[in-house]
Amino acid sequence: MAAKSDNLSPDSRRRGIPRVPVSWIVLIAFDLCIVALVCAQDQPDSKQQPSDEAQVIELAGPVGIDDSDSQFEAIDVYVDSGTNPLAAYQFELASTTPGVKIVGIEGGEHAAYSDAPYYDSRAMRNNRVIIAAFNTGKDLPVGRSRVARIHVEIQGSGARSYRTRLSVSATVEGRRIPARVSLARIVI
């Protein structure tokens, strides 16, 4: 029988490969670019990710209570800015062990940071928060100073681990300075 295969090029006819028009190849490549663009937009914005290294701090927890019971405690957050006055700070705290809920946030010990810091209200009843504050005055804490107190509800006994990341520590005129964050457990 005389076979007719108009969609086959002379070369591909021998191999049995259908010939694809160039316009279709261009269109398929165009669609692939769109898919790549969509995938790229779905990626998280790397500029929003803090670049500072996080540290994990373990604090003692309640002792001798049932897993179904909970206890209210507080976590004091200290920032040590060394010899530089601390004009601004921002840190993230997240519990890496279950059974920790943030229930309140208040300011620190120094007058410059005695007001409640900035935080997202969605942190309440959650286990993660970003806390920040600044002061443009001249009376600023130096050295190790408690900048915030975080009230938490802890369910069950045992120690808890917290991941902290100090993303901003700055002195007057907004100059970034090295600093260190530390936590302390307060039983109320």
Q: Please report, as ranges, the residues that interact with another protein according to CB under 8 A.
A: 1-2, 6-7, 21, 23-24, 27, 30-31, 34, 37-38, 41, 47-48, 87-90, 118-123, 126, 128-134, 136, 167-168, 170, 173-174, 176
* In the complex, least distance from residue 171 CB atom to another protein, rounded to whole angstroms: 11
Q: With respect to another protein, which residue has the nearer C-beta, 142 or 172?
A: 172
Degrees, nearest 5: CA angle 102-52-101: 10
Q: Running DSSP on this structure, what letter comes out for residue 53?
A: P
Rounded CA separation 28/125 (Å): 49
* In the complex, least distance from residue 96 CB atom to another protein, rounded to whole angstroms: 16
* In the complex, least distance from residue 112 CB atom to another protein, rounded to whole angstroms: 12
Comparing C-alpha atoms, which of 79, 74, 130, 83 is closest to residue 104? Answer: 74
Q: What is the dihedral of CA 12, 15, 18, 21, to 10 degrees?
A: -20
Q: With respect to another protein, which residue has the nearer C-beta, 132 or 142?
A: 132
Sheet of 100-107: strand order equals 100-107, 144-155, 70-80, 180-187
Q: With respect to another protein, which residue has the nearer C-beta, 133 or 156?
A: 133
Q: With respect to another protein, which residue has the nearer C-beta, 130 or 142?
A: 130
* In the complex, least distance from residue 10 CB atom to another protein, rounded to whole angstroms: 18
Identity (one letter) of the amino acid at 49?
Answer: Q
The tally of CA atoms less than 13 A away on the side-chain side of residue 135 is 19
Q: Distance between the two ends of the chain, CA-based, in angstroms?
A: 95
* In the complex, least distance from residue 85 CB atom to another protein, rounded to whole angstroms: 13
Rounded CA separation 128/46 (Å): 20
Q: With respect to another protein, which residue has the nearer C-beta, 34 or 63?
A: 34
Rounded CA separation 169/181 (Å): 10
* In the complex, least distance from residue 164 CB atom to another protein, rounded to whole angstroms: 15
Q: With respect to another protein, which residue has the nearer C-beta, 59 or 131?
A: 131
